[in-house]
Chain A
Amino acid sequence: MAFFSLVMLAMFPTIHANASFAKLIEAYPEALRKLFDISNYTTGPGYLRTEVFSFMAPLLITIYAILQGSDLLAGEEERRTIDLLLANPVSRRRVVMEKWLALATGVGALSVVLELLLGLIGPLFRLHLGWRQLSAEVLGTALFGLFGGTLALAWGAWTGARGAARGVAAAVTVAMYLLSALAQLVSALGSFEWASLWYHALGGDPLTTGFHYWHLGVVAMVIGVLLLAATLLFDRRDLTT
């Protein structure tokens, strides 16, 4: 992710200075511009939004979170190490909570790296961002990824099946992304966009407009509900032999 961000940053001066890029993008059909979130491509925030935040950064962080989330409980159960772990005097609820904390810490660490990379190295490539706006965008990205990871954790806690946890979490996050992206094009979908956590985490261009607390709160709340569900479901189940 660091490498990807660096390459993207390094390319910005070329694009920024080149007026023909702006024209090229103007010439794209509007649908395409909306789908890939290409507007203001030659400004710093616009460029980053398109290249980093509209797809790649959330994708990488979400993939990381889903892999971790599915592995932490269901993976440990499939590898059978959960038997030894739970032979210790720790409650299942505590295990779920601490596993989730590990997941959140991992996502948090990746996000901090992303933020520092863009915020500190960006200016070297004449890409100036407000810390506040950047933080809002990174937090949205992190929360969306953590949602995917927590969903995988919860599904794994419920079923003990790692593959299924990955599949379900991937399908739901991709569906939310598509709903949000297509809602820009198909006005009929616009009224359903609230159902997409992508919209709540990353909609409304936080890289320009900063924090949208209510929307971030919705994502955080869904994560909280999933975590609670994970705890209860894991607590009442037979662990697989």
Chain B
Amino acid sequence: METATDTTVDQSVAISLDHVTKIYRGGGGVYELSLDIAVGEVFGFLGPNGAGKTTTIRLILDLIRPSSGRIRVFGLDSRTDSVAIRRRVGYLPGELALYERLSARQILTHFAHLRGGLDWKKVEHYVEAFDLDVDRPVRSLSRGNRQKVGLVAAMMGDPEFLLLDEPTSGLDPLVQRTVQSEVRRAAREGRTVLLSSHVLSEVGEVADRVGLIREGRLIDIESVAQLQGHAAHLVEVRFRGPTDVQTFISLPGVLSHRVDDRSLHLEVAGDLNPIVALLARYDLEDLSIREPTLEELFMRFYGVSDG
């Protein structure tokens, strides 16, 4: 059944959430979510577990229904045109469950059939990219390999819109890179991607814009560049000998510092080169440079703590 596309809808918008609220009796849900994602954009949904990312994605797919508000995908209404929408969407669930007794090949063939038949060569591309053994029954696969089955199932039709809920959870770094490169390729081909994560760096790698969601509310939408500008690195260094702490504190970009024992903790925004150059002059016992966790980021910039 072909459904008429609303002519008033901007064709450059892939998905539009308009004051979407979903209230659960037991609490949780999402409130007054409004958001437009452009065609060809990679949008990252960033928030702690239970923030409402999965709820939003399941609302888009009509697996659950909004209490109020409206969702349009390519101009189609999520409630009335769900089948037409799902024809154009590839979905990876956050809590992936597969048919245990089937092999990946059987599952993929079944879904390909439900999608009206797919070119198996396309499927092969993803099977090879993710190095997936398609002939073993799913119940004998590791968590990472199951995730690969889900990823191939979501991506195999080269859908116009990829909805990936925590796509890299359970994957080793090598496969995570494959996911990122496939997401980038989709974007290059003009396809749209919405991916969720609770890890900042993961979203930052691929997304153009990031929506920060917490306790069911969209707090902010920022470009990745902006977000990374905020995202100061946390430098923790332990010296063997005496140190002039003041030289570190006066470096450009150092936002805050703390000294305890022989350790120096610094929060550094922007370029890390000056501090690395300075560190090279000292005898170090230990050094760690890391990104702030999502919680630390929320804490610092939105004045909220992750309850």
Residue B115, interface by CB 8 Å: yes
Residue A91, interface by CB 8 Å: yes
- Residues in chain A near residue B115, CB distance under 8 A: 88-89
| Contact call B114/A80, Cβ cutoff below 8 A | no
CB nearest neighbor in B for A93: B83
With known contacts A87-B61, A89-B115, A80–B91 Cβ distance under 8 A: no
Distance in angstroms from B95 CB to nearest chain A CB is 6
CB nearest neighbor in A for B87: A89
- Residues in chain B near residue A90, CB distance under 8 A: 83, 86, 114
Specify which of B64, B82, B93, B116 is in contact with A84 (CB 8 Å cutoff): B93
| Contact call A81/B97, Cβ cutoff below 8 A | yes
Interface residue SS majority, chain A: loop
| Contact call B61/A80, Cβ cutoff below 8 A | no
CB nearest neighbor in B for A79: B97
Distance in angstroms from A111 CB to nearest chain B CB is 25
- Residues in chain A near residue B198, CB distance under 8 A: none
Specify which of A79, A84, A91, A238 is in contact with B153 (CB 8 Å cutoff): A84
Residue B58, interface by CB 8 Å: yes
Chain A proximity mask over B47-73: 1 for CB below 8 Å, otherwise 0: 000000011001001011100000000
Residue A222, interface by CB 8 Å: no
| Contact call A80/B97, Cβ cutoff below 8 A | yes
Residues 91 to 139 of chain B near chain A (Cβ within 8 Å):
91, 93, 95-99, 111, 114-116
Residue A239, interface by CB 8 Å: yes
- Determine the distance from Cα of A80 to Cα of B98 in the docked complex, in whole angstroms: 8
- Residues in chain B near residue A79, CB distance under 8 A: 97
With known contacts A80-B97, A84-B91, A84-B93, A89–B83 Cβ distance under 8 A: yes
Specify which of B58, B96, B99 is in contact with A241 (CB 8 Å cutoff): B58
Give the A-B pair count, Cβ closer than 8 A.
Answer: 58
Specify which of B55, B63, B86, B95 is in contact with A239 (CB 8 Å cutoff): B63
| Contact call B114/A238, Cβ cutoff below 8 A | no
- Residues in chain A near residue B83, CB distance under 8 A: 89-91
CB nearest neighbor in A for B84: A89
| Contact call B89/A87, Cβ cutoff below 8 A | yes
Specify which of B58, B82, B99, B116 is in contact with A83 (CB 8 Å cutoff): B58
- Determine the distance from Cα of A218 to Cα of B96 in the docked complex, in whole angstroms: 42
Chain B proximity mask over A65-80: 1 for CB below 8 Å, otherwise 0: 0000000000000011
Chain B proximity mask over A87-124: 1 for CB below 8 Å, otherwise 0: 11111000000000000000000000000000000000
Distance in angstroms from A68 CB to nearest chain B CB is 15
| Contact call A89/B96, Cβ cutoff below 8 A | no
Residue A60, interface by CB 8 Å: no
| Contact call A84/B63, Cβ cutoff below 8 A | no
CB nearest neighbor in A for B85: A89
| Contact call B93/A80, Cβ cutoff below 8 A | yes
Residue B150, interface by CB 8 Å: yes
Distance in angstroms from A34 CB to nearest chain B CB is 45
Distance in angstroms from A93 CB to nearest chain B CB is 10
Residue A11, interface by CB 8 Å: no
- Determine the distance from Cα of A156 to Cα of B91 in the docked complex, in whole angstroms: 25
Residue A172, interface by CB 8 Å: no
- Determine the distance from Cα of A88 to Cα of B89 in the docked complex, in whole angstroms: 8
- Determine the distance from Cα of A81 to Cα of B86 in the docked complex, in whole angstroms: 16
7 inter-chain pairs at a CB distance below 8 angstroms, sorted by A residue, are: A83-B91, A87-B61, A87-B154, A88-B114, A89-B86, A89-B87, A89-B114
